[in-house]
A and B are shown apart, each in its own frame.
Chain A
Amino acid sequence: MMSFALLREIAAHDQVWPRMAAKYGVENPVPPWKTSLDGLCDALDRAACNNSVPTFQERRDEEDALAATVYADLPHPESQLVALAHSLLSRGVITEDELVRRLAVIRARLEG
């Protein structure tokens, strides 16, 4: 199984929703990005006949395998998100370099 240092670092940083919600006294049961992730998965499933995008079945099988092993310490839906990133990286749909660059750009934008 492939391994991605970037995703391991994100997992290790542990900004998981149960911890964040408790820290700031927030009551929402799921993180605010969850429905956007659902939209992302649905949009990918519909696009799956194109190039190397995983099909629904492949995406879910890989999520199950990764959530039980590499990302076993993450709760859901963080494990779902990181497993999806892992699937897209391992299939070459996106590259680790472009993801690293994009994460920095977005963080700068949100913090600006």
Chain B
Amino acid sequence: MHDHDHDHDRTVKPMVEEITDFEVLEIALRELCIEKGIFTAEEHRRFTEFAEQIGPAPAARLVARAWLDPDFAALALAEPLTASKEVGVDWLEPTGFGTPSDFTAFQILADTPTVHHVIVCALCSCYPRPILGNSPEWYRTPNYRRRLVRYPRQVLSEFGLYLPDDVEVRVQDSNQKNRFMVMPVRPEGTDGWTEDQLTEIVTRDCLIGVALPRVGVTSDVIVDTRPAMHPSGE
């Protein structure tokens, strides 16, 4: 019997009311690995908490602060690990315990009016997770990874980003030791804006380099994930 009288229909959000094979499989793999001593339950809990709290907010704030403060912009380019710390990200200890697979050299790529950067991991899906969160699904696909390095302007146009011919496109390949993020050029129409206002328009897509910050745009582009073409099927 309930000891309160509010209406659950109004206060409880809907939930999936069946146990899926996938959630059972995830638990089973995890439990078997723990029992075999491959990792501990504590390690898994810590990594999961890390995965839950990361996102693009620190990187967006870093860019916004750099737009407002030339000294911080210079610091971000010269000492990106120090600048990251000022927005709450410690690259040497991103999870707060030990060194995860994301330990890397980190570099911030500054766009100019004539140079645009975009990041990729052609080999797998290396991504600056501590400061940008988990990579979007499309970033992981072989389609994006293989085509961006060959046909960057075409791939960018699929995200709705058309760059003039006089803007050079530089594709920066990441790897397990080296991670990158893009610092776009501050857009027109943002004079007098606060750091919080600027942070809102620096979306994840801008930090990867598949979009440019624009006044009024605070969400990422939705793109259909194109099927991967695997060599075995070609």
A40 touches B30 (CB 8 A): yes
With A25-B14, A84-B29 known as contacts, the answer to whether A57 contacts B50 (CB < 8 A) is: no
Chain A positions within 8 Å of B134 at CB level: 38
With most chain A CB atoms within 10 A of its CB, the pick from B15, B28, B32 is B28
CB closest residue in chain B, given A111: B19
Cα of A43 to Cα of B97 in the assembled complex, Å: 12
CB closest residue in chain B, given A84: B29
With A98-B32, A111-B19 known as contacts, the answer to whether A65 contacts B39 (CB < 8 A) is: no
A37 touches B26 (CB 8 A): yes
B232 touches A65 (CB 8 A): yes
| Majority SS at the chain A contact face | helix
Q: Which of B19, B22, B31, B47 contacts A38 (CB 8 A)?
A: B47
Chain B nearest Cβ from A34, distance in angstroms = 8
With most chain A CB atoms within 10 A of its CB, the pick from B25, B124, B142, B227 is B25
With A38-B134, A60-B124, A106-B31 known as contacts, the answer to whether A24 contacts B16 (CB < 8 A) is: yes
B51 touches A38 (CB 8 A): yes
With A15-B22, A26-B15, A76-B225 known as contacts, the answer to whether A68 contacts B51 (CB < 8 A) is: no
A68 touches B43 (CB 8 A): no
Chain B nearest Cβ from A15, distance in angstroms = 4
With A56-B176, A69-B232 known as contacts, the answer to whether A35 contacts B48 (CB < 8 A) is: yes
Chain B, interface residues (CB within 8 Å), range = 35 or more
> 1/0 per position for B1-20, CB-CB distance to A under 8 A?
00000000000011111111
Chain A positions within 8 Å of B38 at CB level: 43-44, 47, 50, 53, 93
Cα of A106 to Cα of B33 in the assembled complex, Å: 15
CB closest residue in chain B, given A13: B21
A47 touches B20 (CB 8 A): no
Q: Which of B26, B32, B101 contacts A42 (CB 8 A)?
A: B101
Cα of A42 to Cα of B95 in the assembled complex, Å: 11
User: Which residues of B come within 8 Å of A, CB atoms?
Assistant: 13-33, 36, 38-39, 43-52, 98, 100-101, 123-125, 134, 137, 140, 142, 176, 225, 227-230, 232-233
In the complex, the 6 A-B pairs of residues with the closest C-beta atoms, listed nearest first: A39-B48, A68-B230, A38-B51, A39-B47, A15-B20, A43-B39
